Amino acid sequence: MISKIISHEWLQWRRDSRLKWLAIFLVVISAFALWHQINFQSTLLKKRLKAQEDSRQEWLSQELKHPHMAAHFGNYAYKKPTLLHCFDPGLTIYTGTSVYMEPHKQNDFLFSQSQESDTGIRFGWLSPAMICQLILPLLIILLSFNSINGEYEKGTMALLISQGANFRSVLIAKTASVFLFFEGFITLYLLVTAYCSAVYLGTVIDIYAVLYIWIVYSLYCFIWSLSGVLVSSLIKSSGTSIALLLLLWMFTNIILPRGSANIAENMHPLITNQQFKQLLTASIDKGIDGHDPKNERAKKIEKELLLQYKVDSVQQLPFNFEGFIMQQSEAYSSKVYDHHFNQLFTTLKQQKKIQSLFGIISPYISLRNISMAAANASLETEIDFQQQAEHYRRSFVQNMNNDMKDNSAYGSFKTYRVRKDKYASIGDLQVQNRTMQWSIPTLFIEHISLLLWVLFLMILLFISNQKKVYN
C-alpha cells in the first residue's frame, strides 16, 4: 500500500513541470555551492601549503641568531582541512585557518582579521551544508504542504480511503515519498562532496564522519518531511498550510538562530577585542619582563636563586640567569593567557550552550552545531586548534629559551648564536584534526533535541486520524 502511494507520488512529480524547474534549481545551486567550496578550500590549501613551505624555508635559512631572537622570528599554525570542510566550513569562515605564534604572546583566532577570514565571511556562507540546512527544508515544504489537504481539495482522499488505504498509511507514504526523494539527494550530495574533497584537498576519507553526518542530515530531512505532511493533515486549506510552514521555517531557521545568539550574548556578554587586550596587558605588566632581568620581580628571583645555589652572583649559577628569567617570563605570561583565554572560552561555551538549548525548538540549530562539529569546524574544534597551537608555541619558545639558559653565558645576549642544526631540529606544528568520537560528547543537547523532534512528530503521526478531519 505504502509503496504504491510512494511510486504514485513520484510519478506525479515527474509529470509536474514546476517541480522539474525546482529540481533543476536545486541541482544548479548545489553544484555551484560545492564548486565554490572546493575552489575556495583548495585555493586556501594551496596558499597555506605554500606559506607553510616558505615560512619553513625562511626559518631554516635565517642567519644564526641568539635563540630568543630566533624565536621572535615566529611560526605559523595552519589548520588541516578535513573531508567535510568542503561540505561545511563552519566557523572557519569567521576564524580563518591560521594563527601566528611568537614569544610572549598568544595570538587568538577570535579577533583575527586575516584576508582568508574576510573572504570567507563574504562568500563562505554558500556551502553544501547551507543548501541542506536552509534550502532543502523550503523545497520539502513545497512538496509536502498540500500532500494531505490537497487530496481533500481534489476529492481523492475519500477515494484513497474507500479503495482500502488507511489514513495513517497515507500519511506515512506521503512522508516517505518526500523524505526518500530528498534523502536520495542528500546521500548523493554527501558522497560527491566527500569524493571531491578527497580528490581536490587530498583529505583522508573518514567513513564514520560521513556516515554520522548522513544520519543527522537524514533525521533533519525526516523532521521537515513529517512536519510538512502533518501540517497538511491538520490544516484544511493548502494555502494556509504553506503559509504556516513557511512561518515555521522562518522562525526555526532564521529568527531563532539569530535570536538565540542575541539572547546568549546578553546572558553571557563577550568581552571586546580592545578590552581583552587591555586586560592582558594589565596582567602581563604585573609579571616579569623577560627582556629585563633587572626589573623588580627578576631581582627577587635572583635573590632566591643565589640563596638556593649558595653563590654570590648570577654569573656563578650553573645556567644562564637571563635564559632562566626568560623562561619564568614565558611561564608567567602563559598563566596570564591561560586565565584570560579560559575565561573567554568559558563565555563562548556558555553562549553556545544557550544556543544549543534553543535547538529543542529549532532543529536547524541542533543540525548546524552537529554539522560543524563533524566537519571539525565547531567552536570546540576551533578552541582545540587554538590550544594545540598554543601548546606548540610554548614548547617552541621554551625550547629556544632552554638553549639560551643551558648553552649561553650570562651577558652574552648579543654574542651567543644557536648551533647550525638548531633550526632544523624544531619541526612545524602538526595539527591534529579531531575525530567524531572526540566531538560527540560536546553535542549531547543537540542529539537529544533532534531525537525529541522525531519522537514528538512520530507521536503526532500515530495519533492522527482521518475521522477527525471528517468530523
Question: Would you give the DSSP letter of residue 329?
Answer: H
Q: Are 280 and 337 in contact (CB under 8 A)?
A: yes
Residue 5, classed as helix, strand or coil, is helix
Question: How far from 231 is each of 182, 303, 323, CA to CA, in Å?
Answer: 19, 78, 71
Query: Which residue from 46, 50, 154, 335 is in contact with another protein, where contact means CB under 8 A?
Result: 154
- Work out how close the CB of 226 gets to another protein at its nearest, in angstroms, rounded to a whole number: 22
Task: Report in angstroms how near the CB of residue 469 gets to another protein at its nearest.
Answer: 9
Among 113, 163, 415, 430, binds another protein (CB under 8 A): 163
Does 1 contact another protein by CB under 8 A?
Answer: yes
DSSP-based three-state secondary structure for 76: strand
Q: Is 177 in the site for another protein (CB under 8 A)?
A: no
Q: Under the criterion CB under 8 A, does residue 15 sit at the interface with another protein?
A: yes
Please tell me the distance from the alpha carbon of residue 143 to that of residue 226, in angstroms, as a whole number. 11
Rounded to an integer, what distance in angstroms lies between the CA atom of residue 126 and that of residue 131?
Answer: 8
Q: Tell me if 53 contacts another protein by CB under 8 A.
A: no
Pick 11 or 207: Cβ nearer another protein: 11
* 471 lines the binding site for another protein (CB under 8 A): yes
Tell whether residue 159 is a contact of another protein (CB under 8 A).
Answer: yes
Q: Is the CB of 294 or the CB of 467 nearer to another protein?
A: 467
Q: Does 158 bind another protein (CB under 8 A)?
A: yes
Asked if residues 111 and 80 have their Cβ atoms less than 8 Å apart, the reply is no
According to CB under 8 A, which one of 4, 299, 300, 419 is a site residue for another protein? 4
Q: Phi/psi of residue 99, each to 5°?
A: -140, 140
Backbone angles phi, psi at 44, to 5 degrees: -60, -45
Q: How far is the CB of 453 from another protein (least distance, A)?
A: 31
467 binds another protein (CB under 8 A): yes
For position 10 contacting another protein by CB under 8 A, the verdict is no
Residue 2 in the binding site for another protein (CB under 8 A) = no
Binds another protein (CB under 8 A): choice among 61, 115, 162, 308:
162
C-alpha cell of residue 303: 635573590
Q: Please, which residues bridge with residue 98 across strands?
A: 78
The DSSP call for residue 417 is: -
Closest approach of Cβ 108 to another protein, in Å? 58
Assess 441 for contact with another protein (CB under 8 A): no
Site for another protein in 257-276 (CB under 8 A): none
Record the cell numbers describing residue 17, joined without a space: 513541470
Closest by CA position to 143, among listed 26, 37, 45 = 26
Beta strands in 252-328 (DSSP E): none
Residue choice 77, 165, 201, 389 for contact with another protein (CB under 8 A): 165
Q: How far is the CB of 233 from another protein (least distance, A)?
A: 15
Q: What gap in Å lies between CA 437 and CA 442, rounded to an integer? A: 10
Q: What residues make contact with another protein under the rule CB under 8 A?
A: 1, 4-5, 8, 11-12, 15-16, 154-156, 158-165, 466-467, 470-471
